[in-house]
Structure 1
Amino acid sequence: MSEPTLNGAEMAILINRFEGIARKMTNTLYRTGRSGVLNRARDFSCCIVTAGCELLATADSLPIHVLVGPDMMARTMMDFHPVLKRGDAFLHNSPYHGSSHAADHVILIPVVDDLGVHRYTVLTKAHQADCGNAMPTTYMGSARDVYAEGALIFPAVRVQENYATNQDIVRMCEMRIRVPEQWKGDFLAMIGSARIGEREVLSLGAEIGWDRLEAFCGQWFDYSEKRMAARLAMVPGGTASASSTHDPIPGTPPEGVPVVATVTARPREGRIEIDLRDNIDALPCGLNLSEACTRSAALIAVFNGIGGDIPRNAGSFRRVDILLREGAIAGIPRHPTSCSVSTTNVADRLTHAVAVSLAQLGDGFGTAEFGAFLPPSSAVVSGVDPRTLQPFVNQIFLGCTTGGATPLEDCWLTYLHVGNGGMCFIDSIELDELYQPIIVRDRRIIRDTEGAGWHIGAPSLRVEFGPLEGEIEVSYVSDGHINPPHGVRGGGDGGGSDQFRRRPDETLERLEAATTVRLASGETIVSICCGGGGYGAPDTRDPARVSQDVMDGWVSRRRALDVYRVALTEAGSVDVEATAQLRLAAAS
């Protein structure tokens, strides 16, 4: 019997059905998760892969979580457990077997039909506020290896059989994790989310037919590959290299960590190659990337830099060749290399290096650098809540702007960081003060810190908070103070990061970039996050948009005049004649 051929309408309907299932999974997790990381910040992802371990649907997910990794984790599940049965569920977080880092717990459930055939795998990945690390944080920049992290590592461990949970594993986690009730609530929410996915895919298979769904997947991947090839045929051919440098922290060279990418565009072939082999060896710290994060970070730059309308799945990935080296900081890690901070810092720098390389190939491609991540405003806070006398550990998301400019538009102001893709939510100040014993004293945009350009990058954000009473610990791995986000194609740099302790006498003490700070009663921490780089020359920006930037409070009148060459009237509107003269003089 020949494979059924689906028309365009049928394919559009079916991919929306699959993405609708992924959205049901995310909605379940968002509404039932116990920790603020899930039910306020939404730091999680849900997706569906085929039985052949090909990424199919990732609606509403974080790019660094899902572009590469679900395929590798599903393969690990199948390798370690050759016989899969309905009712199985697997707990996974090993960065050496396809996961991002130990803090991202993943539930994998094989979707097995009535005849016992494995058809798909559904995955729910959720960042944990605590995963058993030696320190009360899930981002351990100082961890010299995975043993120093101390986190529990689960390489596709069967946690449910015949829908019954292995309580031995649950008890292990409850004894190791500082907030066991919080973790268990998230664990149950993840199980529920993945079971929703299993139920819905089984229902879809019964309705449409498994053979027809299999035919759809193959044709959808082929269609996505053709779309990707056509878009890559528009990228100017050639080779370009760029680097982006992470600030030094303990365990790195004193000059920091340069991340290098060489991009070769082959438009006639509809292909692009990203060579990451010329990077330094893994370091005795937590900044090293897992293979999943290395590949995902490179793909993020490609999709951001060529337009956002290409389907992101195994089909379009066929047109991107990523060359890696085992043992590199951005490559394939060897156990027991620590990958504690794998999803953010160096991963973001890798995305920047690829994006800047694309921008060098031609105008209209690539992006400016996005701001670096993990300042104190996105720290893990912990301690004992004086209101309840109970320990607490939670990551706060009080805000990071960081959005870089693109050739198509200005920044996304609340992007958080480039690997997140703008998918996480910013915490409500009131809710953060309710759930943790902290008080937030300030949250505001810092004027004149945007990456100036034809399209502008985000301005920096200032956040100040401290304990309500007693003491709290604040753990973070900040980047971007020494190496702020750069603009491209004439665009300016975005504002850099910084962090201070404010003493009760109002004096400020600059803090280290990556550390755990104990704040006493009456003290606060001041967090300044990076802005984002600009794209294109500032004096080509639409003067009306500059006027609006001034009215919004992002840009001062002086900066409008000196950097953008835009003169404004007393009322704030554009002085057209004076602006034309300023720009003519600058051009000459």
Structure 2
Amino acid sequence: MAASNSRIDPVTFEVLNHRLLSITEEMGIQYMRCSGSNVLITGNDAATAIMQPDGALVSVGPYIVTQGNVLPLIVDSTKRLSADVGINDGDIFICNDPYLGAIHHPDFATVAPIYWKDELIGWIGASGHQLDTGGMDPGGFSIKVVDVHQEGLRMPPVKLVDRGTMREDVLRWIMNQVRDPLVGLDVKGQVAALNTGRRRIIELIESWGVETVKAVMAQSIDHAREKLRKRLSELPDGVWRDVQYIDHDGHETKIYQIVCTMTKKGEALTFDFEGTSPNARGLINSTYSGLQAAVLSAVYINLCWDIPWNRGVRDCIELVTKAGTVNNCAYPAPCAMATISAVIVTIDASWRCLSQMLMADERYREQSMAVWSGTSMAPIFAGTSQHGFPFAATEMSHFGGGGGARTYDDGVDTAGIVFNTTPNMPNIEDQESEYPVLYLFRRHLRDSGGPGRYRGGRSAELAYTVHKAPDNRLDGLFAGTGAEMPNAIGIGGGMPGAAIRIARVIGTDIAARMRDGAPLPDALEGIQGRLEILPPKHTRSSMDLGDVWYHSWQAGGGYGDPLRRDPERVAMDVRRKAVSAVAAADIYGVVLDGEGSCDEKATEVRRAELRQARLKQAVAPDVGDVVMSFAGSGRRSIAETLAIDFDKGTVRCGDCGHVHCRPQDNLLKHLREVKAALRTAGPVRGEDYDVGRFHLRQLCCSNCGSLVDVQVALDGAPRPYFRIDDWPAAAAAE
């Protein structure tokens, strides 16, 4: 079926565009079924994509979207650096160099050209997180590195398959550098995925014609660009800024800030990262590829739920960044931990800017969400399995992070990690059958969800011990971010979700309990022994028989003032053990009777007391150069916190109706600010790591004390803020 010079008709376009999407999904299924890696099988930590001849993204598979976002950069590097070896039909190239397009060393990416009768008509790609990359420590995260050369295998684009034949010398070279033999099977899984993708695209061309397939690829990009530009034109113009943090760089407990200033004007978005910290000496940095992948991921999920995720979206975005910063590091800065430090924290900062913008538009307000579990982590144990083979395993339960609260309902408990669009987490029995460990418990973490009118989704906690290891020991290390402060920030007055916590208990009686058939502990507090709180990045340590290793991860941020939550929902949360009775009384202001039901009169009194306590502690904000103002016409609102009437010239509290100021005034000067400890949002908010650097900045109405915004603040850091320059006329309230 030949294509005309006009655009493809809508029916043909939809059929073939969705066929391309299904090919990327089939590639991912093929990859994961061939790979024996627990990271893929238990976490779906992979990506697939189809691209045009120049590398422009057309379709991305439903897995780790950050990995999919960088495959065009891998294609670009392959084209630039592989001219001397040729790019032929049937070739496959492999690359994991963060300075050439990968996000970090553990993400091996493979790309292959697609030819039709000697014409290059596109590329396909697959990427997946590997169990090991060599380097100083097992698992791909070497905590004490100071440059990229110490982080293990780093491949520029290398021809892995030559005209359909595997280059066994290259595969042997890769296997010679890594500890876990399953890496070889994983690489072959990527080859199988690309062979499947090539075959399916050729079948599509044979059925529909090459010109039609090429036209659909181009039209998919045009469609995404046009639809996103239209959506942006419907949203208010303005500037939003958020600041996020990375704690500990592997060498010291230094704090690094990521500052994102998002400007929306007309049909375009600009993300400016001026003010971001210089790149670190340790492994937390990301290269430009990680920065771009992070911003695109935040935009896809917040703005493009019904728009193809491809080059058309990228065409609507401008990135302003300076090389040599923590999320755009300069060679040879280490960056093996990019995905779970600078990349995801960049997502958080971009996400909150986007969610604040969506809250300002009534048509799109329901799409606004608080930040999901603000970081990922890499708990790694390694050694010899009970089956006699060497291994390096990343414990993937943290992929069950808490979902951010929505403007109309709670976030989903253990919903997933935000950049994984097909979330998954390991089955405990499978883990125990594969590795010499025994899990004592894995359960939802009480009080972890960010408090709010709508609560953030809960995270979880777990503990495991060595079991049936041939040497009665393993090696353990940990790479994580967000222990001293949470990164899952709330919106509209919602509070942040839990931070991470890492610990071990040594000198336990676990071995004796197992020998005697006694019950095993089901909570950290029930484990006898010496508790040690571990830093968020700690080097390889011995996991000896009887030692218990524990960690919990970040939950979702909340939406709206917790004092506005339905008391009956709080009572239900207490009964479900999602919220403690202490948090119900001190954070939500809900008093329960002896049967666990809400005491309505006592709750009303308690909430009034908490509001008055806020006002008593409140001071005038230190405004500095921050301006929060509004321009437009008609009547507008920012979620439920602010009501703006341009005709009457007022900005009112959305709760009590108090007039704060005129729209053109600096609203910040008319609010009150409460400096509160992070634990005001609940336990596990960094108290085990607290050295006095972080606090909650609660902005509230000067009349009723209702929360307008809650920020995680570091003294001396830039303030988050927003300024709306204009609303489109069609968005005015009736």
TM-score (norm 2): 0.74
Q: Is the 8 A contact 2:295 2:346 kept in 1?
A: yes
How has the CA–CA distance of structure 1 residues 319 and 409 changed in structure 2, closer, same or farther, with 3 Å as cutoff? farther
| Partner SS for 1:327 | coil
- Residue 444 in 1 paired to residue 468 in 2? no
- Residue 146 in 1 paired to residue 127 in 2? no
**How do residues 294-313 of structure 1 correspond to structure 2 at under 5 angstroms?**
294-306=291-303, 308-313=305-310
Q: CA deviation at 1:184?
A: 1.3
Q: Which moved more, 1:198-207 or 1:333-342?
A: 333-342
Cα deviations by residue, 1:260-300 (Å, 9 ceiling, x for unpaired): 1111111xx21111001332222211111121210111222
Q: Which residue of 1 aligns with 2:350?
A: 354
**How do residues 409-424 of structure 1 correspond to structure 2 at under 5 angstroms?**
409-418=409-418, 420-421=419-420, 423-424=422-423
Q: Which residue of 2 aligns with 1:514?
A: 537
Cα deviations by residue, 1:279-328 (Å, 9 ceiling, x for unpaired): 22222111111212101112222333346333211112211111121222
- Residue 95 in 1 paired to residue 98 in 2? yes
Q: Is the 8 A contact 1:263 1:354 kept in 2?
A: yes
Q: Which residue of 2 aligns with 1:50?
A: 52
Tell me the distance in 2 between the aligned counterparts of 1:404 and 1:193. Answer: 33
| Partner SS for 2:339 | coil
Tell me the distance in 2 between the aligned counterparts of 1:311 and 1:285. Answer: 36
Tell me the distance in 1 between the aligned counterparts of 2:5 and 2:593. Answer: 68
How has the CA–CA distance of structure 1 residues 416 and 141 changed in structure 2, closer, same or farther, with 3 Å as cutoff? farther
Q: Which residue of 1 aligns with 2:268?
A: 271
Cα deviations by residue, 1:356-396 (Å, 9 ceiling, x for unpaired): 33344444375433334344xx41210123x3443221212
Q: Which residue of 1 aligns with 2:678?
A: none
* One-letter amino acid of the counterpart of residue 371, structure 1: S
Tell me the distance in 1 between the aligned counterparts of 2:220 and 2:568. Answer: 43
Q: CA deviation at 1:334?
A: 3.3
Tell me the distance in 2 between the aligned counterparts of 1:165 and 1:536. Answer: 56
**How do residues 55-454 of structure 1 correspond to structure 2 at under 5 angstroms?**
55-67=57-69, 69-82=70-83, 83-113=86-116, 115-149=117-151, 151-180=152-181, 182-251=182-251, 254-266=253-265, 269-306=266-303, 308-331=305-328, 333-361=329-357, 362-363=359-360, 364=365, 367-375=369-377, 378-385=378-385, 387-399=386-398, 400-407=400-407, 409-418=409-418, 420-421=419-420, 423-454=422-453
| Partner SS for 1:40 | helix
Residue among 536, 540, 553 paired with 2:577 = 553
Q: CA deviation at 1:191?
A: 0.5
Q: Which moved more, 1:97-106 or 1:400-409?
A: 400-409
Tell me the distance in 1 between the aligned counterparts of 2:421 and 2:575. Answer: 25
Q: Is the 8 A contact 2:71 2:109 kept in 1?
A: no
Number of aligned residue pairs: 576
Q: Which residue of 1 aligns with 2:497?
A: 494
Q: Which residue of 2 aligns with 1:530?
A: 554
| Partner SS for 2:100 | coil
How has the CA–CA distance of structure 1 residues 422 and 199 changed in structure 2, closer, same or farther, with 3 Å as cutoff? closer
Q: Is the 8 A contact 1:372 1:530 kept in 2?
A: yes
How has the CA–CA distance of structure 1 residues 189 and 417 changed in structure 2, closer, same or farther, with 3 Å as cutoff? same
Q: Is the 8 A contact 1:294 1:347 kept in 2?
A: yes
Q: Is the 8 A contact 1:141 1:340 kept in 2?
A: no
Q: Which residue of 1 aligns with 2:653?
A: none
Q: Is the 8 A contact 2:44 2:63 kept in 1?
A: no
How has the CA–CA distance of structure 1 residues 6 and 77 changed in structure 2, closer, same or farther, with 3 Å as cutoff? same
| Partner SS for 1:539 | helix
Q: CA deviation at 1:126?
A: 1.0
Q: CA deviation at 1:226?
A: 1.8
Q: Is the 8 A contact 2:47 2:127 kept in 1?
A: yes
Cα deviations by residue, 1:2-29 (Å, 9 ceiling, x for unpaired): 5242232222211110011111111111
Cα deviations by residue, 1:456-478 (Å, 9 ceiling, x for unpaired): 22334211112114111122212
* One-letter amino acid of the counterpart of residue 179, structure 2: R
Q: CA deviation at 1:416?
A: 4.5
* One-letter amino acid of the counterpart of residue 223, structure 1: H
Q: Is the 8 A contact 2:379 2:476 kept in 1?
A: yes
Q: Is the 8 A contact 1:306 1:366 kept in 2?
A: no
Tell me the distance in 1 between the aligned counterparts of 2:231 and 2:592. Answer: 41
Tell me the distance in 2 between the aligned counterparts of 1:564 and 1:529. Answer: 23
How has the CA–CA distance of structure 1 residues 345 and 407 changed in structure 2, closer, same or farther, with 3 Å as cutoff? farther
* One-letter amino acid of the counterpart of residue 508, structure 1: L
Q: Is the 8 A contact 2:372 2:401 kept in 1?
A: no
Tell me the distance in 2 between the aligned counterparts of 1:130 and 1:271. Answer: 40
Cα deviations by residue, 1:97-127 (Å, 9 ceiling, x for unpaired): 11111111111111111x2111111111111
Q: CA deviation at 1:232?
A: 1.6
* One-letter amino acid of the counterpart of residue 463, structure 2: E
Q: Is the 8 A contact 1:344 1:417 kept in 2?
A: no
* One-letter amino acid of the counterpart of residue 8, structure 2: L
| Partner SS for 1:137 | helix
Q: Is the 8 A contact 1:345 1:372 kept in 2?
A: no
Mark the runs of 5 or more structure 1 residues left unpaired by the alignment. none
Q: CA deviation at 1:562?
A: 4.2
How has the CA–CA distance of structure 1 residues 574 and 313 changed in structure 2, closer, same or farther, with 3 Å as cutoff? farther
TM-score (norm 1): 0.92
Tell me the distance in 2 between the aligned counterparts of 1:343 and 1:583. Answer: 41
Q: Is the 8 A contact 2:144 2:282 kept in 1?
A: yes
Structure possessing the higher radius of gyration over alpha carbons = 2
* One-letter amino acid of the counterpart of residue 230, structure 2: A
Q: CA deviation at 1:62?
A: 1.0
Tell me the distance in 2 between the aligned counterparts of 1:314 and 1:154. Answer: 26
Residue among 14, 17, 23 paired with 2:16 = 14
Mark the runs of 5 or more structure 2 residues left unpaired by the alignment. 509-528, 612-655, 657-703, 705-734
